[in-house]
Amino acid sequence: MSLITKVFKGDFFHTLGLKKFQHLSNHVLGVNLYGKIEFLKPISELDELRNRYKFQESIINDLGNGFMVPGFVDAHAHAPQSVNVGLGTDLPLLDWLIKYTFPTESKFQEADYANLVYSRFVKRNLQQGTTTTCYFGTIHLDSCKILVDLCAKYGQRAIIGKVNMNRNSPDNYIETTSDSIRDTEAFVEYVKNKPTDLVEPIITPRFVPTCDPDLMYQLGEIAKKNDLRIQSHVSENKDEVAWVKDLHPECKSYSDVYYKHGLLNDKTIMAHGVYLTDEERKLYQKVGASIAHCANSNFTLSSGCLNLRQLLDMEIKVGLGTDVSGGYASSMLQCIRDTIICSKAKSFETQDKHNEIDFREGFHLATLGSAKSIGLDHKIGNFELYKHFDALWVKTDVENGPFDSFNTDSIEDRFQKWIYLGDDRNIHKTFVNGKQVKK
């Protein structure tokens, strides 16, 4: 039996860094029994590879006029909020939470409801080429377990957190400190004992206003004890920043609250960061924490426009997040487009074209950049040897597709058109860990 289970030949696009975009033309990629990339070589070496690995011609897939890219990585999404995607776009963050988000999330105490919503959302993510998502659940232990089970069932790689909130929350959607800690520890154990390497737990205080100091300290201790990632929100909205300052006058900044409670380190993923101060950015640089940039959400809830280039120039880890449902689009292609638009808007404001992000950089941030931001770049994000084969087979010539391709288009033209115009109709097949999860 051959070590190689799948072979693809044609064009591959990936990145090795922010400014290291690669188009590998006329190459051949092999996937081994363990779902990892065994080789990526010029097609001229195909016969030699066939002799070495003893694989049959029948397992070779010709990408044709299409191409292959790494799977998308969503660094920040709220799974329960997929119910109200596209609603509440007329409200700012704090009003939106009260009117739409908290009422929606409170319903997830019902297991059947959670199973219906989460099943649809996980399948939609895979349909759109998001092979990995960093999810917020709700405060409900059982429904968070359901999300874990469904990601494992459908084959999506995921980092999942049970949300914690014990203050400034509705009476029907709040938990005590003891219940929050008990259920968090139970959730961590449940995920760790799950017979899959696709899903990992993450500590998830919703944000400072809904977590008191005692809860934050204890969550920090759980993260430290179990060597876990941490995710939350920071400096998304000016009113939110002012609220945190009122709640914690003893701290230098919003980020300092997390830092002093053991929740800001090199395993931390903070969503937004629109209004970080110079001192806060230096803190992120110092401790190695990352930012999930959620441009669509920041536009939709009128939160603001992040200066992304400022973070990148400081070599702060940045990934892209859809932030469903603050963001109305769950597609990472839309996430890339909004990131580009946001950067252009910032360049108008600052009169500095350097702040613009081009489509290659946007693609990097949605793949390897996001993988690095959530601590999975050793496994996924590009086509380096022995990484897990999480990938998309993209076709640009599809019936009733979202854009037209012409014989005069180069393969690079087709790639760029897909970034700006493509959608799930162009994704012919999706693979996670070497297994096909979308036909």
Per-residue buried b or exposed e for 197-214, using 16+ beta carbons within 10 Å of the residue's own CB:
ebbbbbbbbbbbbbbbee
Angstrom distance (rounded) from CA 22 to CA 399:
28
pLDDT in tens, 75-109: 999 999 999 999 998 999 999 999 999 999 999 99
pLDDT above 80: residue 307 = yes
pLDDT in tens, 101-158: 999 999 999 999 999 999 999 999 999 999 999 999 999 999 999 999 999 999 999 9
Structure tokens at 20: 């290291």
Structure tokens at 420: 């700006």
Angstrom distance (rounded) from CA 198 to CA 95:
35
pLDDT in tens, 24-45: 999 999 999 999 999 999 999 9
pLDDT above 70: residue 21 = yes
Per-residue model confidence (pLDDT) at position 60: 98
Contacts of 117 (CB under 8 A, 6+ apart): 79, 80, 82, 83, 108
Per-residue model confidence (pLDDT) at position 439: 64
Q: Confirm whether pTM is higher than 0.75.
A: yes
Longest alpha-carbon distance in the chain: 69
Determine if residue 243 is left, alpha or beta; phi over 0 gives left, psi from -120 to 50 gives alpha, anything else beta. Answer: alpha
Instruction: Assign 285 a pLDDT band (cuts: 50, 70, 90).
Output: very high
pLDDT above 80: residue 1 = no
**What is the mean predicted confidence (pLDDT) over 331-342?**
98
| Size of the chain, expressed as the number of residues it contains | 439
Instruction: Assign 63 a pLDDT band (cuts: 50, 70, 90).
Output: very high
pLDDT above 90: residue 438 = no
Per-residue model confidence (pLDDT) at position 325: 95
